[in-house]
Amino acid sequence: MPSASANYRTLLRTSGAAAFFLPSAVGRLGIAMTGIGILWLVHARTGSYAAAGLVTGGFAVADAVAGPQIGRLVDRFGQTRVLPCALGAHAGAVALLLAGVVPDLVAGVLVGATLPQLSALSAARWSALLSGERAAALPTAFALEALANGVSYLAGPALVSVLGAAGYPGAGVLLAAALVVGGGLALAAQRRTIPPLTGRAERRHAGRALLRSVFLRQVALGLALGVFFGAMQVSVTAYAVGRGTPDAAALLYFAFNCTNLVGGWAYGAWRHGGSPRRRQAAAAACLALASLPLTLLDAPLAVGVTLAVAGLVVPVLLILSSVLIESSVPRAVLTQAFTWGNSANAAGTAGAAAVAGRVVDAVGAHGGFGVAAGAAVVMTVLALGGLRGSSQGVPKSSAPTEITEPNPPATQRDSSTNRKAP
């Protein structure tokens, strides 16, 4: 443990790293609070969970659709110019929602459409900061990002729920917006670590990388992982309620989320070696093997242990997906690429909740776990397909060199893509 903590401390001591990571961590806590805050606010205003769910769903869809477009603007004009504008628009949208001067659904969509993906902006900065010989530290950096996201989605919804239960349903949305805007502005002020901009011709050429199979496979994996998340959320709740112990759902979620944090922390501290694609395929296979027993198990202890094992693997997939996205697209479209990954994950989560709900209604909680296990199997197939594609080779002009740790090959800058080239 001391050694692992030292690795993270060393990473944050890299010049400029803590200055941009900490504000982004504050902002993403607000992002994690926004959706559940809207749910509390609209339900308190209307007394209807259906209405609250509709507005929250509109927020999530708008966030997933608009996120890559904001990322595209960031790649073109830079974080310093785009981020303050997006944050100002977000603050205005939240004000409209709180004031109730427009329909809640319209306001919710505007809140989602103006919410910047601070995790993608932070990941792009890590990529620029840890280039060349320091690229071996990227998996640890992305593990730190995964830890920040995990803590945010543990603490954020709980904090909003406490405020809502105390009789302040609007306070969660207001606090979330303050964290997003404050953290985002502090991030934009860190000019030293802003990724360099590229020319129009380079961006046009680089944009083709977003259509290549190596990148689209990672987006598809993110979508499948979102399906896994969404199905698990519904299925765990249905399992606990079906046994007549609804309070057990919180304990099961706790087991899954805690091991999620442990898995991300441990992987980031590990001395990596070999191909990230092989590790991704192995992690996806492990997740599938860990999830399949949930379709049969009924004892609460067995279900809890299985969820805990699955939770260890999930952050590894998230970290490796970030590593492979970073190595598969030119820097000119890197922010956009990261936001596409986030959007795919969010879309999968939202869609799976509805699908798994129907399956649970038809065949019970084990059917919902089957949807999650099926998503893990799909991830395994996609990851194995990536191994086959990598064995066939990729033209040098089509994509950057894949990162291997701990001894990456010596790199140089390719002026046509501003990325690492052999």
- Report the distance separating Cα 72 and Cα 303, nearest Å: 42
pLDDT at 414 over 60: no
pLDDT score at 390: 58
pLDDT at 418: 40
The residue assigned the tokens 């329909």 is: 103
pLDDT value for 393:
41
**Run of H or E including 26:** helix 17-46
- E-strand stretches of 266-315: none
pLDDT at 108: 94
**CA atoms of 77 and 65, how far apart (whole Å):** 20
For residue 51, name the pLDDT band (cuts at 50, 70, 90): confident
Confidence of residue 268 (pLDDT cuts 50, 70, 90): confident
Helices 300-328/138-165 angle, 10° precision: 130
pLDDT band at 284 (very low <50, low <70, confident <90, very high): very high
Identify the residue with better confidence: 248 or 419: 248
Q: Check if the beta carbon of residue 338 is closer than 8 Å to that of residue 79.
A: no
Model pLDDT, residue 416: 37
pLDDT at 242: 86
Quote the mean pLDDT of the chain.
85
Kindly state the percentage of the chain with pLDDT values over 70: 88
CA-CA distance, 250 to 242, in Å (whole number)? Answer: 14
Q: What dihedral angle (degrees, nearest 10) is formed by the CA atoms of 348, 354, 356, 358?
A: -160
The single-letter code of the amino acid at 56 is T
**Ramachandran angles phi, psi of 421, nearest 5°:** -135, 150
Q: pLDDT tens, 385-398?
A: 888 755 444 433 33
Q: Is the pLDDT of residue 23 over 60?
A: yes
Residue-level pLDDT at 203: 66
Q: Which tokens in the block code for residue 300? A: 């609460």
The pLDDT value recorded for residue 245 is: 84
Could you give the angle at which helices 365-392 and 276-291 cross, rounded to 10 degrees? 160
In degrees, rounded to 5, the angle at the alpha carbon of residue 143 between the alpha carbons of residues 142 and 147 is 115
